[in-house]
């Protein structure tokens, strides 16, 4: 770490732990004093990478962007140039070995996450890896085994909804049990339009992956089977309805609509034994004029979840400065990969597909 002036950070703003369904991360209040500034290498200089570089540079105390890597050398340089003293690399491994790098934030495409996480683990560096951990179960298990061999958590997965104020409020309500046992979750996930090259399978692996994590975290249950229903025939491919069954007997439906055209919406309603609770209806602004009223709908995740990304990265930096890693873990990434793999099969076959999981290793509680 660099030896810049000592910093004392305010306590985390979290009111609900973001750890995996069965575990709670160590309390920041119990941590040792923080004295160093964390040097971060950001891999992937695309949309998320650029947003995280801005966040680390402008919003998060106690961190500096030491290096940026992208296979597109020009893009890496353009982004690195926004931060004084930041090195640019076209080889991610070179960035990991760059001067002043203490930790890695991975924002490259999912299929290359495995090799980049393994390279970081070889160096013992703390990692914040954007979702997905990896795109399939086999590669997720290789990461899980590599981290287990180290005997300590080094990797956090970027399931940022766990840091969103509304989702945290819902989780607190469910944890307190005031409404009784959750029986159903109704979820909606709508995007204005998908990125170029987006495939039908990515509706599950790229988009519904968030609901997979949200459901496991909110309910503290594992998903045991997936079914995907499509409305209509004759080339109508979406919206689709993804159904989850859980090992706690809950049933979940997720509407996934990545081409809805009108806005970015993420909603969740929990129906419990003695009541229900719903989040995600908020509009940025409601106007009233000349016999009309209307609201705004945010257009993408960067607006809807801005605060959640800030809190996620801030808590990751704070933990890494204590040489800890908290938040969604490799088990969560593996479980999400297993559910998504089953989901893609369910989508292709129309069948109900069970989700096989290995036993949860001790490291992951």
Ligand X SMILES: O=C1[C@@H](O)[C@H](O)[C@@H](O)[C@H](O)[C@H]1O
Ligand Y SMILES: NC(=O)C1=CN([C@@H]2O[C@H](COP(=O)(O)OP(=O)(O)OC[C@H]3O[C@@H](n4cnc5c(N)ncnc54)[C@H](O)[C@@H]3O)[C@@H](O)[C@H]2O)C=CC1
For residue 59, report the phi and psi dihedrals to the nearest 5 degrees.
-110, -30
Q: Which of the choices ligand X, ligand Y, none does residue 66 contact, using the CB cut-off of 5 to 8 A by kind?
A: none
44 binds ligand Y (CB under 6 A): yes
What lies within 8 Å, CB to CB, of 349 at 6+ separation is none
104 binds ligand X (CB under 6 A): no
Q: How many residues bind ligand X (CB under 6 A)?
A: 6
Per-residue x/- track, 299-328, ligand X (CB under 6 A): --x---------------------------
Which has the closest alpha carbon to 140: 356, 322, 333, 294? 333
182 binds ligand Y (CB under 6 A): no
For residue 34, report the phi and psi dihedrals to the nearest 5 degrees.
-100, 130
Three-state secondary structure call for residue 348: helix
Q: Which residues on neighbouring strands pair with residue 9, listed in sequence order?
A: none
Q: How many residues does the chain have?
A: 365
Query: What is the Cα gyration radius of the chain?
Result: 20
Which of residues 6, 13, 59, 72 is near ligand Y by CB under 6 A? 72
Closer residue to ligand Y, CB minimum distance, 246 or 304: 304
Query: Which residue has tokens 């070995």?
Result: 97
Q: Which of the choices ligand X, ligand Y, none does residue 191 contact, using the CB cut-off of 5 to 8 A by kind?
A: ligand X
Structural tokens at position 61: 């105390």
Which residue lies nearest ligand X, judged by its C-beta?
Answer: 207
| Shortest distance, position 340 Cβ to ligand X, whole Å | 12
Structural tokens at position 245: 């069954």
The DSSP-derived string for 305-326 is THHHHHHHHHHHHHHHHTT---
Q: Which of the choices ligand X, ligand Y, none does residue 344 contact, using the CB cut-off of 5 to 8 A by kind?
A: none
Identify which range of 107-115, 176-184, 261-269, 327-335 contacts ligand Y by CB under 6 A: 107-115
206 binds ligand X (CB under 6 A): yes
Closer residue to ligand Y, CB minimum distance, 71 or 363: 71
Which has the closest alpha carbon to 28: 13, 46, 50, 47? 13
Q: Which of the choices ligand X, ligand Y, none does residue 192 contact, using the CB cut-off of 5 to 8 A by kind?
A: none
Which of residues 156, 191, 326, 347 is near ligand X by CB under 6 A? 191
Name residues contacting ligand X, limited to 248-307 (CB under 6 A). 258, 301
For residue 159, report the phi and psi dihedrals to the nearest 5 degrees.
-85, 85
d(Cα 1, Cα 17) in Å, to the nearest integer?
27
Closer residue to ligand Y, CB minimum distance, 179 or 201: 201
> How far is Cα of residue 165 from the mean position of the Cα atoms in its chain?
15
110 binds ligand Y (CB under 6 A): yes
340 binds ligand X (CB under 6 A): no
What lies within 8 Å, CB to CB, of 291 at 6+ separation is none
| Shortest distance, position 188 Cβ to ligand X, whole Å | 11
Q: Which residues on neighbouring strands pair with residue 65, listed in sequence order?
A: 40
d(Cα 365, Cα 361) in Å, to the nearest integer?
7
139 binds ligand Y (CB under 6 A): no
Q: How many residues bind ligand Y (CB under 6 A)?
A: 24
Which residues here bind ligand Y, judged by CB under 6 A? 43-49, 69-72, 75, 92, 107-110, 112, 130-131, 158, 160, 206, 301
Which residues here bind ligand X, judged by CB under 6 A? 191, 206-207, 210, 258, 301
């Amino acid at each position: 770490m660099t030896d810049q002036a000592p910093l004392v950070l305010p306590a985390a703003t979290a009111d609900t732990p973001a750890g995996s369904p069965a575990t709670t991360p160590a309390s920041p209040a119990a941590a040792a004093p923080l004295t160093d500034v964390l040097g971060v290498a950001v891999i992937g200089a695309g949309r998320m990478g650029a947003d995280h570089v801005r966040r680390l540079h402008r919003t998060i105390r106690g961190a500096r962007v030491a290096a940026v890597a992208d296979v597109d050398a020009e893009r890496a340089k353009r982004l690195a140039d926004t931060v004084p003293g930041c090195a640019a690399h076209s080889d991610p491994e070179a960035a990991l070995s760059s001067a002043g790098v203490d930790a890695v934030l991975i924002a490259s495409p999912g299929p290359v996450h495995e090799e980049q996480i393994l390279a970081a683990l070889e160096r013992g560096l703390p990692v914040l890896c954007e979702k997905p951990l990896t795109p399939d179960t086999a590669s997720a298990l290789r990461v899980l085994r590599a981290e287990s061999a180290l005997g300590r958590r080094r990797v956090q997965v970027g399931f940022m909804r766990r840091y969103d104020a509304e989702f945290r409020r819902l989780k607190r309500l469910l944890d307190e049990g005031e409404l009784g046992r959750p029986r159903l979750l109704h979820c909606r996930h709508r995007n204005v339009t998908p990125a170029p090259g987006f495939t039908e399978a990515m509706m599950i692996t790229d988009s519904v992956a968030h609901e997979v994590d949200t459901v496991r975290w909110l309910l503290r249950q594992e998903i045991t089977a997936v079914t995907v229903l499509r409305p209509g025939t004759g080339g109508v491919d979406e919206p689709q309805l993804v159904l989850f069954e859980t090992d706690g007997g809950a049933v979940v439906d997720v509407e996934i609509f990545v081409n809805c055209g009108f806005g970015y919406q993420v909603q969740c309603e929990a129906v419990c034994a003695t009541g229900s609770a719903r989040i995600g209806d908020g509009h940025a602004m409601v106007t009233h004029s000349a016999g009309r009223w209307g609201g705004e709908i945010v257009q993408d995740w960067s607006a809807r979840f801005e605060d959640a990304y800030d809190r996620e990265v801030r808590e990751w930096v704070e933990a890494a400065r204590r040489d800890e890693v908290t938040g969604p873990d490799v088990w969560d990434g593996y479980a999400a990969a297993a559910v998504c793999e089953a989901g893609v099969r369910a989508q292709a076959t129309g069948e109900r597909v069970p989700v096989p999981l290995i036993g949860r290793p001790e490291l992951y509680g």
